[in-house]
Structure 1
């Protein structure tokens, strides 16, 4: 049974019609009623079709098992500041000029928030999404994993130069095990995934988010063993964005600490600022998907970004979280590697470290990004934080190696270029 290809076709095909019709899952009756109507039920077979995707990304723990990430006793306060008139903001997206509300609607935005010096200056919830509702972070989760690794490196418990298999012998001979910890953290690992097990959909199936075909790995640990390492190749001289590296780093961190990824996130990060518990999707062994499985409210994602901004701006690293942030956000020099990756053309000029994009704009700006339109933007110099949570259809399979051609993914309106155009228009409005 060829489940994955069928999902791809239906999800991609649904994108064209979704752009011209409402995809608000509540208005359309998705998973409403006791019980929901048969044609309104969301399952693993149809979760990536519209409008089901919009419901699924807001209710991930209803789709698969999850592990909790505990909040702390004293959440970071987000006072309301003088509101920016961003509903009147216009900017270019390709040949078109869009207002911010048009951009948010057309990119299937669920929630969008702007902080300036820690104050909420713009906040919107669209298509029945609410402030108390958790939303999938997708690959923004990687940036959390990167901060965890940086905290262990700062403590001397994780050696960035060490071969990762030194911590996880089961990965010896694999691309991730033979590469160094830092090469994994910077996505500079040569790996080739089987065509029928790409680094995205293969992992989704192993984690239980998508149905599995017979013979596919049924847990994250086994999925890490399917990638092969090209003969006579050197790690470090390429940039290849994929899910295996953060999952391998997370495995190493569990081994070092004897704690789960979710416990580490709670103790070292989330409990410092969050108002609500977060959670992460897990496979059948209880292993968290450290490359993309986290969910939280929009405001707690903004608190996370603001905590990172404050830590990055501190003159001295006077506590473990600040040390981790400052270590993870040190400038890297791998812009040329990213520029040479055929799937990262929009990231030309960026560098990358510890699962954070470095914009190299002279203002210290960094970004976290995830599938389906998730974005965190932090500009320390301007005191600016932006978080965008979305459910834009994007089920094009990712490249299976650094040399493979990636399929088209996000449409131009939801591209890095379009988001940067928004940033350029927004910055002059700050006072």
Structure 2
């Protein structure tokens, strides 16, 4: 009788059970979220190799009790209950600790889903600072063929702030929806390869409401942003990210971004990075756009993104109000509206990059939650971050 392979012992299933049809489902996502490139075509974003070791000692913090639900539990218990794969915490620019689930190793990449939007927007800020990208320009200034789509009368600002009046729903679990067609166009679901992501985006139509009035979380906007950046810069997105962000940031690990049949980057949700490097992105934002003594993105852009910009009125009309009742959304980043001035990037299945400027804490949390969206758990996670920021 043949025993279990090392893979099966670690993950609880066989590698050949992970398919394009189920890679985002539990339990297979515990492996696939770290190995997206084996399932979806992906472009490399190289880094300068750096030897790092995990900082596993949280100084007993994992055993501390934390009250984010009806019953207090330890930090370690909450990490397990929230399906955390990895957690990296920084304070004042220093690594406080790294935590990993048994099925993830230090240095492994993990998909960050919609935090990809936040990372992509940083490139928009960089190009704006260089004078080659105008957030107030019409979309058609960069993509003329968008004139007959929902984006024909939209500006880049509408795209950046998710205020395009777009007739589209984020129906993650409906196999017959336009969202399922969208995922086929990105090669994320079986049946793709007949319609490119670009072609799909240009078929989308608008609602009757004017652009700029309501915050509507619609992922195609952020894939369109990737196309806008490529048109403005004349570079492939992966090359742009490497040159403008990854190398200046001092990233220690190679990143990757999923691409479609034409090589178009899935900038709305296809970026994979290590937990340490994700935390470095947050620290760069906390430092006002600098890293390693080098300016990466203009300070004014960071302040606009994390403090002053965004429409409270548009947010109040949107569907995510229960998460941050006093929040705003600017340049693909969430302002919590909390007293500590925290801001964050968020991705489905439990991906978070949380920055608390008051305590100087940055938290990168990567997860494999079974459901794409879990609103009650999201509220607990925010409370967890706030408590953890005070504890470290």
Q: Is the 8 A contact 2:275 2:364 kept in 1?
A: yes
**Paired position in structure 1 for 2:191:** 212
**Paired position in structure 2 for 1:241:** 217
CA distance in 1, matches of 2:213, 2:223: 21
Q: Give the 5 Å matches for 1:151-166.
A: 151-166=126-141
Match for residue 335 of structure 1 among 284, 292, 312: 312
Match for residue 230 of structure 2 among 246, 249, 254: 254
Q: Is the 8 A contact 2:116 2:270 kept in 1?
A: yes
Q: Is the 8 A contact 1:68 1:262 kept in 2?
A: yes
**Paired position in structure 2 for 1:134:** 109
Q: Is the 8 A contact 2:289 2:297 kept in 1?
A: no
Deviation digits for residues 214-270 of structure 1 (CA, Å, limit 9, x no counterpart)? xx9622101212321123x31111000111111112111111111011111111111
TM-score when scaled to structure 1? 0.80
**Paired position in structure 1 for 2:268:** 291
Listed as ranges, the gaps of 5+ residues in structure 1 are: 1-23, 33-39, 396-408
Q: Is the 8 A contact 2:307 2:335 kept in 1?
A: no
Match for residue 419 of structure 1 among 372, 381, 384: 381
Match for residue 281 of structure 1 among 253, 258, 266: 258
Q: Please, which moves more after superposition, 59-68 or 297-306?
A: 297-306
Deviation digits for residues 182-234 of structure 1 (CA, Å, limit 9, x no counterpart)? 111000111112784444x4332211111137xx9622101212321123x31
**Paired position in structure 2 for 1:15:** none
Listed as ranges, the gaps of 5+ residues in structure 2 are: 1-6
**Paired position in structure 2 for 1:71:** 47
Q: Is the 8 A contact 1:80 1:119 kept in 2?
A: no
Residue 429 (structure 1) aligned with residue 357 (structure 2): no
Q: Is the 8 A contact 2:42 2:256 kept in 1?
A: yes
Q: Is the 8 A contact 1:339 1:345 kept in 2?
A: no
CA distance in 2, matches of 1:84, 1:358: 30
Q: Please, which moves more after superposition, 335-344 or 140-149?
A: 335-344
Q: Please, which moves more after superposition, 354-363 or 292-301?
A: 354-363
Q: Is the 8 A contact 2:349 2:367 kept in 1?
A: yes
Partner SS state of residue 145, structure 2: helix
Q: Give the 5 Å matches for 1:379-394.
A: 379-394=356-371
User: What is the root-mean-square deviation in Å for CA atoms of aligned residues?
Assistant: 2.7
Q: What is the total number of aligned residue pairs between the two structures?
A: 378
TM-score when scaled to structure 2? 0.88
**Paired position in structure 2 for 1:400:** none
Residue 124 (structure 1) aligned with residue 124 (structure 2): no
Change (3 A) 1:91 1:177: farther
Partner SS state of residue 297, structure 2: helix
CA distance in 1, matches of 2:361, 2:303: 17
Residue 229 (structure 1) aligned with residue 193 (structure 2): no
Shift of 1:411: 5.4
CA distance in 2, matches of 1:248, 1:128: 34
Residue 410 (structure 1) aligned with residue 374 (structure 2): yes
Match for residue 327 of structure 2 among 334, 344, 350: 350
Change (3 A) 1:341 1:326: closer
Change (3 A) 1:259 1:327: farther
Partner SS state of residue 240, structure 1: coil
Q: Is the 8 A contact 1:113 1:302 kept in 2?
A: yes
Shift of 1:79: 9.4
CA distance in 2, matches of 1:147, 1:177: 24
**Paired position in structure 1 for 2:245:** 269
Q: Is the 8 A contact 2:50 2:253 kept in 1?
A: no
Q: Give the 5 Å matches for 1:40-55.
A: 40-55=16-31
**Paired position in structure 1 for 2:10:** 27
Q: Please, which moves more after superposition, 180-189 or 216-225?
A: 216-225
